[in-house]
Amino acid sequence: MTYSWAILVVMIVGIAMWQLGIFSMGGATPTTSTGFNKIKPLLTLAKMDTTGHVDFTFTNGAGSTISVAGVSINNTADTDCTYPSPPTTPSTWPVSIASGENLYIAAAGTNCAQTAGTVYSAYINITYDQTVGGTTLRRSDSGTIRGAYEAAI
C-alpha cells in the first residue's frame, strides 16, 4: 500500500512538471487550433509573420456549398495589432466554397511587429450562408489558431 502511494505521488509530480514545460527541449511552438466546428483550419499552412501578415487556409466541412460573407481576425496576444474586415484576400466577397474545398485568406496587420518565435493567438470568426432544404441560413464558425511568429520573407 505504501509503494502505491509513493508511485502515485511520483506520477502526479512528473505530470505536473511535464505540463509546466520543464522537460521541453526548446523546440518550436506547435501551431494548434481550438473551436472551428464546420470550417476547419489547415494548420500546416497557417502562418503569421513578424510584420503581422497572416496566411490562413480553411476547409469547408459543412457538408454543402457555402457562401462566405466575411472573416474577422483578432490577434488576442497583441492588442495593438488590427486587421481589415474582411481580409484583403480574397479580393471580392462573398466567396462560394464547395464542400471539401479550401478558402484561403490573407491580410496585412497594422501595428503588429513582433519577434520571430513569439507566440501569437489569432481569434478568427467566419460568417457564411448555407442553403439547407431550400432555406438559406446565416451561420458563423469561430476559433483560435495559436502558433509562433515566423520571419517575414
Domain layout of the chain by residue ranges: 29-148
**Residue given cell 474582411 in the structure block:** 86
Evaluate if residue 144 carries a pLDDT over 70.
Answer: yes
pLDDT of residue 141: 95
For 60-102, write each residue's pLDDT tens digit: 999 899 999 999 999 888 778 889 888 888 988 899 999 999 9
Average pLDDT value for residue range 7-33: 79
8, containing H or E segment: helix 2-19
Q: Given this model, what pLDDT does residue 23 score?
A: 66
What is 29-148's CATH number? 2.60.40
pLDDT in tens, 25-35: 555 678 889 99
Q: 92 φ, ψ to 5°? A: -125, 140
Q: Are 41 and 145 in contact (CB under 8 A)?
A: yes
